[in-house]
Amino acid sequence: MSVQKFVVGNFYDEAVLFPAVKKVRRAGYKLHDVFTPFPIHGLDQAMGLRDTSLHTAGFIYGITGTSTAVGFITWALTLDWPINFGGKPFFALPAWIPVTFELTVLFAAVGMVLTFCYLCQLAPFVKKDHFNPRSTDDTFVMAIECTEETNETEAKKFLESVGATEVTVMEKETGWWLGRYDHDTMRFQKSTNA
Amino acid sequence: MSTRDQFIIPKRYNTFALALMAIGLLAIGALWFTHGAKGGHEGARFWASLLQNSVFFLLVVNASMFFICATTLAWGGWQMAFRRVPEAISAVVPVIGVICLGILLAIVFGGDHSIYHWTDTHHVVEDPVLNHKKGFLNKTFFTVATILTIGLWSLLGWKMRQLSRSLDEHPIADLEGRKKYIWNNTVWAALFIVVFALTVLSSSPWLWLMSIDAHWYSTMYSWYTFASTFVSGVALIALFVIYLKNNNYLEYVNNEHLHDLGKFMFAFSVFWTYLWFSQYMLIWYANIPEETVYFKPRAQGIYSGIFWLMLVINFIAPLLILMTRGAKRNYGTVAFMAVMIIFGHWLDFYQMVFPAVSPDHVPMIVYDFGVALFFVGLILWVVGRALTKAPLLAKNHPFVKESLIHHT
């Protein structure tokens, strides 16, 4: 957990946001993130984010499910407790395919949801700081992280020049915590004043 | 060299198409002299090869018109950048349709009952199963249904192409006119889809292919045939798109569009497997002799090699190779998989037709492959000509902008 300083600007239009993202990156500012109420096609490329590896994880969970199903049923129905079903061979692969398919989907789906929650640090009772609650409503919010070399006034002016409105400097918690928003907001205020 | 809007057939393209057709004609001639001229069961091998190839390629080129109509009904715009390609491919339907009609009628009325046992009226009277089916499996119904099917595909396909081309010289300026145009398109596309559902999705595969095993039936059969030909049809569209893109045409097609074609190939390969397995597993599980008779020579008999090979090509390969995003956006990978998929489903049709015609030994597949080359050459020849007749971008279509800025 660490509190860091950010320069935060709001955008109301994709057509302004995209060039702004490019200009901010080209100017060398450390782009922390852009928060939008809905997925915007191509924004990840514009921000220079790498492709997610969630699908690789999904593939691995999937084949884990496949092999779990085939392995377990094979063991149960050929080694541990072979039963004659209507004269079918003990190793009755076609009959197991539906179960194997279901288990593949189950493993892949549950695994990917959990991985997604882990990557996004989402869980019950976990709290994270917002830059602007309107980023879940009607505003695109861009946050630039202030490093030692960042001049806040310059950064503010630069964000305004690329089309941002209501540009502010904020101190925000970057990690997650277990607790309550009201309690922790008070804690941040104290640390800012000190 | 800048990109061009009007396709000009290169000389090599023509030579290649003609060479393929020549090889095909040689194969057909060879088959005729070794088998066809002898008649009876030997002759059936000749006709079965023509039947398999003409029906397969007819359904594959017709899948292009299904692709156009399905995207039209969904009010999709992403395909507009290359829509002229499936349009041109669907222009082959009347050509192969006439050839296919000729072959089918020759088999039905040829007096030889080795392929369609139900054409033998004396035999049908003594056969309770065929006697029961004779309301459907008879020469008159077959002929009328086949002529109607191929005629309606050609007619409605022609209408859809006309609608698309009518905009090239007469753009619609006002919004109301454009709405009317889209509505008009929707109605004709819906008509085609209805005809398609009554033919490819039900009656045509029953009549043309399933009736070779006249005693056997499966309700999954038509869906399965449809999935087979639709995935091959999309693969064929992808191949032409890649060919044109490589030759500096189709300026606005980029790997976003290719990605979507790749998704179609991937998804419908899996869909095909789903239907294939639904058919196979129920019959395997129930284990009723009159149903398992279909799979006995295919899955366990002399055709098992082709049977399992085509399952690997049509399911395992697309599943693993086309799974990643990078593969679907790569022109080389998509082209390779498109060829594989078309070949795989051609093999699928091979094992649909031949085990009933030649149950004792697997015929030399090289001849049938030669016959396939004739149809490939014919498709290249006709599609090339159809592509030159209209600009490659339907630039006045109301949805075209959606395709130019398409992003997945």
**B219 has a chain A CB within 8 A of its CB:** no
Q: Which of A40, A41, A50, A100 has the most B C-beta neighbours within 10 Å, making it the best mutation to test the interface with B? A: A41
Contact between chains at B325 and A51 (C-beta distance less than 8 A): yes
Structure-token match 């006002």, residue found: B174
B287 touches chain A (CB under 8 A): yes
Q: What residues in B contact A89, CB-CB < 8 Å?
A: none
Residue B51 within a domain: yes
- In Å, how far is A94's CA from the nearest CA of chain B? 6
> Is B407 in Cβ contact with A94 (below 8 Å)?
no
Using an 8 Å CB-CB cutoff, list chain B residues near A98. Answer: 281
**Domain-located, residue B1:** no
- Asked if B325 and A41 come within 8 Å (Cβ–Cβ), the reply is no
Q: Are B252 and B83 contacting, i.e. CB atoms less than 8 angstroms apart?
A: no
**A2 has pLDDT over 90:** no
Any domain includes B4: no
Q: In terms of DSSP bridges, do strands A3-11 and A126-128 run parallel, antiparallel, or are they unpaired?
A: unpaired
Return the pLDDT at B116.
92
Closest CA to A184 of A176, A32, A133: A176
Residue B320: closest C-alpha in chain A: A59
The pLDDT tens digits of the residues spanning B89-121 come to: 999 999 999 999 999 999 999 878 889 989 988
Q: What is the pLDDT of residue A129?
A: 82
- Which tokens sit at B316? 């395992």
| pLDDT in the model for residue B1 | 44
- B325 and A94: CB-CB below 8 Å? no
Is the CB of B281 inside 8 Å of chain A's CB atoms? yes
Torsional class of B372: left (φ above 0), alpha (ψ -120 to 50), beta (otherwise): alpha
A21: Cα separation from own chain's centroid? 19
In this predicted model, what pLDDT tens digit does every residue of B376-398 receive, in sequence order? 999 999 999 999 998 999 888 99
Quick check: B287 and A55 CB within 8 A?
no
pLDDT at A59 over 80: yes
Percent of chain A scored above 70 by pLDDT? 93
Number of domains in chain B: 1
Inform me whether the C-beta atom of residue B289 falls under 8 Å from chain A C-beta atoms. no
Residues of A in Cβ contact (< 8 Å) with B285: 94-95
CATH 3.30.70 boundaries in chain A: 3-50+130-193
- Residue to substitute from B285, B320, B323, B406, interface A, most A β-carbons within 10 A: B285
Contact A95 B324 (CB under 8 A): no
Distance from CA of A49 to the nearest CA of B (A): 16
The reply to whether B5 falls in a domain is: no
Residue A85 pairs in a beta bridge with: none
Q: Is B211 inside any structural domain?
A: yes
Quote the pLDDT of residue A188: 55
Distance from CA of B282 to the nearest CA of A (A): 9
- Options 2.30.30, 3.30.70, 1.10.8, 3.90.220; CATH for A3-50+130-193 is 3.30.70
**Residue from A50, A48, A1 nearest A25 by CA:** A48
DSSP A162-191: TT-EEEEEEEEE-SEEES-HHHHHHHHHHH
How sure is the predictor about A82, in pLDDT bands with cuts at 50, 70 and 90? very high
Q: What is the ipTM of this complex?
A: 0.82
Q: Which domain holds residue B114?
A: 12-404
Residues of B in contact with A97 (CB under 8 A): 277, 281
Place of tokens 């709290």: A127
**Is the alpha carbon torsion for B60, B65, B71, B74 positive or negative?**
negative
Q: Is B190 on the interface with A (CB under 8 A)?
A: no
Contact A55 B285 (CB under 8 A): no
Nearest-angstrom CA–CA distance, B242 and B258: 8
Read off the pLDDT band of A121 (50, 70, 90): confident
**CB proximity list for B401: less than 8 A, separation 6 or greater:** B77
Residues 343-362 of B with CB under 8 A from A: none
For residue A110, pLDDT over 70 is answered with yes
- C-beta atoms of A51 and B281 within 8 A: no
**Residue B380 neighbours by CB under 8 Å, 6+ apart:** B13, B16, B17, B20
What confidence category does residue A184 fall into, taking pLDDT thresholds of 50, 70 and 90?
Answer: low
Chain A: nearest CA to B281, how far in angstroms? 6
pLDDT recorded at residue A193: 44
Task: Tally A–B CB contacts below 8 A.
Answer: 20
Determine, yes or no, domain membership for B2.
no
Q: What is the pLDDT of residue A194?
A: 38
* Phi-psi category of residue B102: left, alpha or beta, with phi > 0 → left and psi -120 to 50 → alpha: alpha
Contact criterion met (CB < 8 Å) for A42 and B407? yes
How many other CB atoms are found less than 10 A from the CB of residue B170? 8
Residues of chain B where predicted confidence (pLDDT) is lower than 70: 1-3
How far away is chain B from the Cα of A105, in angstroms, using its nearest Cα?
14
How far is A165 from chain B, CA to nearest CA, in Å?
Answer: 28
